Structure 1
Amino acid sequence: VIAGDLLDVAGHADLDTQILVVEKYLTKLREKVPVIVCSGNHDGDKKNSAGEYICEWLKKARRDNLHVDGDSLHLNGDLISVCPWWDGPVTRQEMVAFLDSEQAKPRRRWLWVHHAPPTETPVSWTGSKDAGDSFFLECLGKYKPDLAFSGHIHNSPFAEGGRWVDRVGSTWVFNAGRQMAPLPASIVVDLERMTAQWESVTGVETVDLMLDLDFKAR
């Protein structure tokens, strides 16, 4: 799972060049494992009729074993829904319509991929303020998925008062964060044992998603 911001709008290479490079690596990844990718606020390359940015290039990159914005897949009975980045009321309503249709699908557990984490949680803490998405928090309360994977706030797992995992109602929310290291920070979720393990330059942390039902990030 890659939760958005595949491009760097402040990077040295232009966006078209970045897109070509990212597509190359997504192809390499999908040849080895199923890849699930949502867009982030840095990834828009086109505007819709309402003037809102959309990520057209990622939709065009869709291939077998590469699941992108607006896709869903069943994995061992669990439903995974890939939410696109929304840039205004039109694209936000499109995401709501997508979640409405997903809600009706049979599943054991429901997993979301959404770039911005919910507000009012340590996974959206920058170290100085809460930079989460209040609308996404509303969606978690309305639809009640079991797990939600986000990114967007790069340093929440590393900042004082931040975390890589939290529980919002009945939903586990995750943000692996970003680190400047040879390997990215990552979260490994075992859906059979229901454990989550965060690996970073700071070490390894594990949460039991079955036993820690009253978990509150500290």
Structure 2
Amino acid sequence: MRPASVEYTSPPEPDLFFIMDGRHFAGAGAAPVGDDEVAHTLLTQIPTMRLLLTSDLHYRLRHYDWLLGVAARFDAVVIAGDHIDISSTVSDRVQIAALSASLTALSHESRLLVCSGNHDLDSRNPQGEKTAAWLDAVRSGTLAIDGDTVHIADTMFTVCPWWDGPHAREAVAALLAEAASKRTGRWIWVYHAPPEGPLSWTGKRHFGDPALPALIAQYAPSAVLCGHIHEAPHKKDGSWFDRIGNTWLFNAGNQIGDIPARIEIDFDAQVARWITMEGVEEQALG
């Protein structure tokens, strides 16, 4: 049985520079290095967190191809559930094979975090509740999936599975409780369904996750990265961002075409940008 929380750490940082007689050294016994190299190395030592969020790609492989071309620009890429298209004539088995290859390729370009959504469920747990067991096969040191807690730079991420019943819901609560004990700073959840509010609004009704508000109130994560409701950012009274207490919540929504709707979040610059075919909206996070 795999533990509920698996931690992967970023590669070790290079040795800090020290200065002696006006010259810069990379470590004890090292030769002097130039100012340009010092500037480059010092910049790489400053923790950053710039991430790309999208979701609900539903087997649009051209969206995954587009992500492959931009992933290296970000410290982390998040796909917040609903990878499979259950209405497609392509079988789930074939979709899973193609999606697994795409996710693996993406994880070679950037740290990748993917959670399951309600369309991704191919198996059942011992209690008979649906799960996305196929994601287990793509987990790696650079690809975090349901049930993983990972550290990237100065940020801890917890990836939450879609819950299909009380046992899976309790497992999510236990996952977050364990991760909370390890929190030292910024903590971000990947969680497919948003809570009831502007991110869950279809234009006619809400489809919010009933368990999430209490979990946010209990743990106050820095941010929750969601999806699920395609229309929410595009509808009157809907939105691509929300805030509950000190917790920011995001849902990029969905759009037609070859490029996914997405949100770029720069936690160091304290800004988020929602980017769609209609343009760019920006929200300060300060």
Q: Same fold per TM (> 0.5)?
A: yes
Partner Cα distance (1:181, 1:13) in 2:
19
Which sections of structure 1, spanning at least 5 residues, go unmatched?
Answer: 211-218
The structure 2 residue matched to 1:200, chosen from 266, 269, 276, is: 276
The equivalent residue for 2:140 is: 63
Partner Cα distance (1:194, 1:187) in 2:
13
Aligned with 1:57: secondary structure? helix
Partner Cα distance (2:184, 2:255) in 1:
34
The structure 2 residue matched to 1:83, chosen from 160, 177, 191, is: 160
Aligned with 2:135: secondary structure? helix
Deviation at 1:154, TM superposition (A): 0.6
| 1:110-165: CA deviation from partner (whole Å, max 9, x where unpaired) | 1000000011x101110111111121111111111010000000110011111000
Q: Highest Rg: 1 or 2?
A: 2
Partner Cα distance (1:189, 1:146) in 2:
12
The structure 1 residue matched to 2:241, chosen from 144, 165, 174, is: 165
Q: One-letter code of the match for 2:251?
A: N
The structure 1 residue matched to 2:227, chosen from 118, 143, 151, is: 151
Identify the range of structure 1 (30-39 vs 133-142) with the bigger mean alpha-carbon deviation: 133-142
The equivalent residue for 1:72 is: 149
| 1:182-211: CA deviation from partner (whole Å, max 9, x where unpaired) | 20000001011111111001210111100x
Q: TM-score, normalised by structure 1?
A: 0.94
TM alignment of 1:58-137, pairs within 5 A: 58-119=135-196, 121-137=197-213
| 1:73-126: CA deviation from partner (whole Å, max 9, x where unpaired) | 11221111100110000011111110000001132211000000011x101110
Aligned with 2:176: secondary structure? helix
Partner Cα distance (1:27, 1:122) in 2:
33
Q: TM-score, normalised by structure 2?
A: 0.72
Count of residues in correspondence between the two structures:
209
Q: Does 1:32 align with 2:109?
A: yes
Aligned with 1:140: secondary structure? helix
The equivalent residue for 2:217 is: 141
| 1:14-45: CA deviation from partner (whole Å, max 9, x where unpaired) | 10100001011101111111110000011111
Partner Cα distance (1:127, 1:12) in 2:
29
Kindly, what percent of the aligned residue pairs are identical? 41
Q: One-letter code of the match for 2:145?
A: V
The equivalent residue for 2:285 is: 209
Q: One-letter code of the match for 2:144?
A: H
Which sections of structure 2, spanning at least 5 residues, go unmatched?
Answer: 1-77
The structure 1 residue matched to 2:121, chosen from 44, 50, 57, is: 44
Moved over 3 A (4+): none
Q: One-letter code of the match for 1:55?
A: A
Aligned with 1:134: secondary structure? coil
Aligned with 1:157: secondary structure? helix
Aligned with 1:25: secondary structure? helix
Partner Cα distance (1:174, 1:54) in 2:
24
The equivalent residue for 2:250 is: 174
The structure 1 residue matched to 2:87, chosen from 10, 20, 33, is: 10
Once superposed, what is the RMSD of the aligned Cα atoms?
0.9
